[in-house]
Structure 1
Amino acid sequence: MRNRKWSRRDWLKASAATAAGVLFAEPLRAAAPPASVVTPELIAAAQKEGKVSYYSALELNTAERLARAFEQKYPGINVRVERSGAERIFQRIAQEQGSGIHAVDVANSTDPAHYLDWKKNDWLAAYMPEDVVKHFPADQIDPDGTYATSCAWFEVIGYNTEQVKPEEAPKSYADLLDPKWRGKLVKGHPSYSGAILTATFVLVRDLGWPYLEKLAQQRVMQVQSAADPPKKILLGERAVMADGNDYNLVLAKDQGKPVEVVHPAEGAPLIIVPSGIFKSAPNPNAAKLFQSFFFSAETQQMLADEFAHRSFHAEVKEKAEHVPLAKLKMLKADPAQVQAQSEEIKARYAKLFRV
């Protein structure tokens, strides 16, 4: 088992289709757990364990900031951050679980389909922080209480304002096919990034493969993470990003950098980032405490203020620079469908973009 090379296909199986418009809609198998309150007993038990292992697909600076804030709030508990792209995290956890290695306590991923698989394998523990039960909408919570959406953002178009005038900037995905953008585009890769996999699924579903076939002819710079395209246009290496997260551009613009966000006319893919605790967690009490901390109003507000992430916590105030959710055309993806089509999407995409 230790030498086996695990692929996503080994672990991902098609799941029951989700109800329309509901992000986490597996059949209810058991009663959801009650709201879990942070008690002195839980804190003491977590401090006795002294550590927690956190696997994250969030950017390293975000994951590390969460870790340091937790350590400051709960002295004596060290957070070990294991950060990588969502698809690599998925493969690593599969390898560890298949080899009987129980190293992960808490994991979040930008690919919600991972949680369908982990739940199907009975790897996730049922635990619902009090804030989730009280302040999060039902469609952002697993019915059985094994995970919930810790934060979210949008995949958008963006451009460098020193290279592109606002009136000439693309306003839609269709605009990216204009010959004037040939050799000037950059985008992420669905085999590395769960966010880009979801965004690619949405584009295939709504615009079809012919769209991506035409886009591939635009001599697009191919990078890995959804966080990479914003950095490339910020550096001026490319004028326009065909996809990438919105929060990096919002933060850069706050600092006076020459970048602008474009929410495509067709709609922007919504990227949700669930978080869950593993049943085999070596530090179960610290894992519960970390999960409760992650979903607290204090931490959720920090994610919104410092990193421009979206939060579904009802008490969190949106960053002023954000376009309100009510004014955006959101393109939501069914995780079960992403799961079922992921291998085909990655293989066909790689062939088209020759990567």
Structure 2
Amino acid sequence: MKRRKLSRRDILQGSIALAAGTVFASPARAQAPEPVAVTPALVEAAKKEGKLIFYSSIDLPVGEKLGKAFEAAFPGITIQIERSGSERLFQRIDQEFASNIRAADIINSSDASHFISWKKNGWLMPFVPEDVAKHFPENYRDPDGLFATSRVWLSSIAYNTNLVKPEDAPKSFADLLDPRWAGKMVKGHPAYSGTIMTATFQMVRELGWEYMEKLAKQRVMQVQSSTDPPKKLSLGERAVMADGNEYGIVLLKEAGQPVEPVYPTEGTPTISGPTGIFKTAPHPNAAKLFQAWLHTRETQQFFVDFTAQYSIHAQVQSKPGRRKISDIKLMKEDAEGVEKMTEEIKTRYARLFRV
């Protein structure tokens, strides 16, 4: 049998899939609903509703640009974006459902474990966009068709090039424990940010709580969102970023800011951002239209080009000049593991870092 030559895309997907592991593990493969394409009938039904309420952890400038693109593609439908850290959004959804408030149509979280909980609660609507069925690996979509991964990104180390020489910059998580970085680092908080929650889980799994205990003694500046450390770094308020989103560093560097990402030798934490529709969505057709549009090749390419994040849509290409995820050593994702350890991480982290 003739062996098929592996393409660059095959290698990229293999790299991400390896890091993903069993992100959305399921005891048995269920029968997902039939894939749905963007049709005139769906567009018309969505326009009759005229509105979409999107809960999201996506950076507000990105979310707003995404919303404007959706409104331009489908005139007559307005999108209202409710942006917050994923852990706060998770609490908000719990509170709203407990109070019988059904405000959200659709949600994107940077903590994939949230969708495991929402699925168990029966809160999500089955809906499979055609592109997801055709072009997304199985381990990046729910087997019951309740959600799919809309974006993938990393949580890396980084440094300010005005304050740190390349030869002196940390190369690993272990290097962050060097006394020279005491009082010079910034990092996000897992009780607010889904990115940091996921990254903290992976770091604890690989390095142990002992590592976190030592890092906590380094007088680290604590901020909330994973979007904050890159900003603090570029402003020169801290020399080194202990965690935070890598794409923020990439975008700042491309804009001429004095920052440089570092991919730790132990591996870089990997984060998935799924999106799903609530079964009680006030505007279900608009939500379906947005979910289908969000996962098309065109919109996924927008994510890659505009946000410096990664897509697992098979037809999306990397932007020239950026480092490929296939060239980076990644830590393995495990959404079920995060779900089991969430409360422990919040409690122990708060005690160690006194925040």
Alignment TM class, shorter chain as reference: over 0.9
Superposition pairs of residues 197-346 of structure 1, within 5 angstroms: 197-346=197-346
Superposition pairs of residues 87-166 of structure 1, within 5 angstroms: 87-166=87-166
CA contact (8 A) 2:137 2:312 kept: yes
- What corresponds to 1:188 in structure 2? 188
Distance in 2 (alpha carbons) for counterparts of 1:238 and 1:95 = 36
Distance in 1 (alpha carbons) for counterparts of 2:104 and 2:302 = 24
Shift in CA distance, 122/43, structure 1 to aligned 2, threshold 3 Å: same
Distance in 2 (alpha carbons) for counterparts of 1:315 and 1:52 = 27
CA contact (8 A) 2:24 2:336 kept: no
Residue by residue over 1:236-286, the C-alpha shift from the partner in whole angstroms, topping out at 9 and shown as x without a partner, is: 000000001111111111111111000000000101000000110010000
TM-score normalised per structure 1:
0.93
- C-alpha deviation, 1:133, in angstroms: 0.8
CA contact (8 A) 2:23 2:336 kept: no
- C-alpha deviation, 1:330, in angstroms: 1.2
Distance in 2 (alpha carbons) for counterparts of 1:159 and 1:321 = 20
Distance in 1 (alpha carbons) for counterparts of 2:296 and 2:90 = 26
Residue by residue over 1:43-64, the C-alpha shift from the partner in whole angstroms, topping out at 9 and shown as x without a partner, is: 0000000001100011111111
The DSSP-based 3-state class of the residue aligned with 1:333 is coil
Residue identity over aligned pairs, in percent, reads 58
Moved over 3 A (4+): none
- Structure 1: which 5+ residue stretches go unaligned? 1-19
The DSSP-based 3-state class of the residue aligned with 2:186 is strand
Distance in 1 (alpha carbons) for counterparts of 2:117 and 2:332 = 19
CA contact (8 A) 2:156 2:262 kept: yes
Residue by residue over 1:160-190, the C-alpha shift from the partner in whole angstroms, topping out at 9 and shown as x without a partner, is: 0010000000000000000110110000000
Residue by residue over 1:190-225, the C-alpha shift from the partner in whole angstroms, topping out at 9 and shown as x without a partner, is: 000011001111111110011111111111000000
CA contact (8 A) 1:155 1:243 kept: yes
TM-score normalised per structure 2:
0.93
Q: CA RMSD in A?
A: 1.0
- C-alpha deviation, 1:29, in angstroms: 6.5
Q: Which moved more, 1:310-319 or 1:325-334?
A: 325-334
The DSSP-based 3-state class of the residue aligned with 2:333 is coil
